[in-house]
């Protein structure tokens, strides 16, 4: 049976009262950290066109005041891509690349914003990218771990037993809540906070 050795964090209680555990495979943290490192270096030292940074979507709402639906898309697109990759055994290979891309886009956007090294740029990075990441990154981590679990279950003979081990409905609702909170912050609270910078 294909499985990952993972550290476990208490996450949800099941109906019996014991803790369900949410496993984050180390396989996913390594490419994410590699993407963070590479994105930080590129964002700080390379001359990146603003169009490329805008294509990441993390700063688009900061510059243009995105609508609520666009903000929902920005916060939920990486979890949706992870869910799409979970439908194939190739997800075992592609989901770590998605994790690296998420880390790269986050770090590169932050590094490009703070590159001028002014106080206002630090506050802008915190308000426009840092605070939304408190919602969007946990949503992505939950989605990618579940997606990798489902994708790897294609390598198992008894997939139905493996799939019952994760409370997908609760995870989906929690991801939806996080993405909605991110979109509410970006669409309604961030424009008010930006006037303070």
Give every CB contact of residue 68 below 8 A, 6+ residues apart in sequence.
183, 184, 187, 188
User: So what's the pLDDT on residue 119?
Assistant: 78
- Looking at residue 153, its pLDDT comes to 81
Is 7 part of a structural domain of the chain?
Answer: no
Question: Is a pLDDT exceeding 80 seen at residue 191?
Answer: yes
Look at residue 21 and tell me whether its pLDDT is greater than 50.
Answer: no
At residue 73, does pLDDT exceed 70? yes
Residue 77 included in any domain: yes
The confidence score (pLDDT) of residue 161 equals: 54
Mean pLDDT across the stretch 161-174?
Answer: 79
Least confident of 42-56, 89-103, 107-121: 42-56
- Is 19 contained in some domain? no
What is the pLDDT, as a whole number, of residue 52? Answer: 65
Whether 60 is in a domain gets the answer yes
pLDDT(115) > 50: yes
Helix axes 131-153, 91-114, angle to 10 degrees: 170
Domain-located, residue 171: yes
In a domain, 122, yes or no: yes
**For residue 83, is pLDDT > 90?**
yes
Q: Is residue 51 part of a domain?
A: yes
Task: Give the burial string for 161-176 (b: 16+ CB within 10 Å, else e).
Answer: ebeeebbeeebeebbe
User: If residue 101 lies in a helix (H) or strand (E), which one and from where to where?
Assistant: helix 91-114
- Number of folded domains that form the chain: 1
Is it the case that residue 22 has pLDDT exceeding 80? no
Q: pLDDT digits over 174-185, tens only?
A: 999 999 999 999
- Tell me, rounded to whole angstroms, the distance of Cα 97 from its chain centroid: 13
| Boundaries of domain holding 107 | 25-194
What is the pLDDT, as a whole number, of residue 12? Answer: 41
- Ramachandran angles phi, psi of 21, nearest 5°: -115, 140
Average pLDDT taken over every residue of the chain:
79
Q: Which residue has the tokens 């666009």?
A: 70
Is 164 inside a domain boundary?
Answer: yes
């Amino acid at each position: 049976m294909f499985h990952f050795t993972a550290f476990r964090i208490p996450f949800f209680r099941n109906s019996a009262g014991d803790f369900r555990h949410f496993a984050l495979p180390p396989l996913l943290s390594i490419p994410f950290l590699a993407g963070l490192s590479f994105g930080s270096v590129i964002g700080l030292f390379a001359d990146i066109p603003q169009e490329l940074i805008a294509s990441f979507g993390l700063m688009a709402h900061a510059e243009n005041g995105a609508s609520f639906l666009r903000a929902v898309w920005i916060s939920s697109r990486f979890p949706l891509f992870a869910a799409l990759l979970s439908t194939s055994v190739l997800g075992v290979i592609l989901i770590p690349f998605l994790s690296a891309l998420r880390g790269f886009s986050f770090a590169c956007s932050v590094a490009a914003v703070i590159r001028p090294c002014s106080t206002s740029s630090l506050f802008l990075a915190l308000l426009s990218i840092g605070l939304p990441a408190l919602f969007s990154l946990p949503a992505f981590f939950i989605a990618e771990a579940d997606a990798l679990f489902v994708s790897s279950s294609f390598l198992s003979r008894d997939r139905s037993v493996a799939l019952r081990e994760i409370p997908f409905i609760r995870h989906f609702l929690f991801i939806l809540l996080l993405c909605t909170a991110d979109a509410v912050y970006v669409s309604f609270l961030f424009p008010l906070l930006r006037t303070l910078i």
